[in-house]
Chains A and B, each alone.
Chain A
Amino acid sequence: AQSVTQLGSHVSVSEGALVLLRCNYSSSVPPYLFWYVQYPNQGLQLLLKYTSAATLVKGINGFEAEFKKSETSFHLTKPSAHMSDAAEYFCAVGPDKLNFGTGTRLQVFP
């Protein structure tokens, strides 16, 4: 079975600070990994995906994630937070049946 664990249900940063959202996966086969963002009262939007190509994956809105097999991690980062980044972020492992993490709420303070 495949699963992901998101460390930290809430993360707070100041505008302009580094954003780091943590995700660790468990998978018996090479995983497909995804990060999604959910803004209040909206659906999920794909930020980026890893499907066994480059280990450093660049996504939309300045986000990127690095696949580290030795650490079974796929952490999401952004060098400089914007107020508009405040949302719920979900890590997921696939393919086909996506198993989601429990989400991390990102707050950005001015």
Chain B
Amino acid sequence: DTAVSQTPKYLVTQMGNDKSIKCEQNLGHDTMYWYKQDSKKFLKIMFSYNNKELIINETVPNRFSPKSPDKAHLNLHINSLELGDSAVYFCASSQDPYNEQFFGPGTRLTVL
């Protein structure tokens, strides 16, 4: 059983489009995260939700909007995609904000 899953695994799209990435965890965790890994492998947190409430919102363009319909899901919607949004996006979850985080396999987004 996959603990943290993301769909799709690959996403290729044109500039200006709107796209979503979905994340689900079956670990019963209360906290979920989105990270962005750029082409140089640098990982940076974007958002974090605890019990469906936003607790971390880094300086991310407001074209990025996370949505947590329930504790097991945290989706990422991106409007008006730009070339610079090309990256690998990782979802993660943890029991609470003070425990280790479990990462999903990543979604490689390519904006043409």
Contacts and interface: CB of A to CB of B under 8 A. Distances in A.
Interface in B20-74: 31, 33, 35, 40-45, 48, 55-56, 58
Interface band, chain B: 20 to 34
Interface residues of A, number: 23
B101 interface: yes
A43 B90 contact: yes
B18 to A, nearest CB: 25
Q: Is the interface of A mostly helix, strand, loop or mixed?
A: strand
Contacts of A46: 100-102
A42 B106 contact: yes
Interface string A79-103: 0000000001010001111111011
Contact of B100 (A34, A38, A42, A103): A34
Interface of B: 4, 31, 33, 35, 40-45, 48, 55-56, 58, 90, 92, 97-106
Interface of A: 32, 34, 36, 38, 41-46, 49, 51, 88, 90, 94-100, 102-103
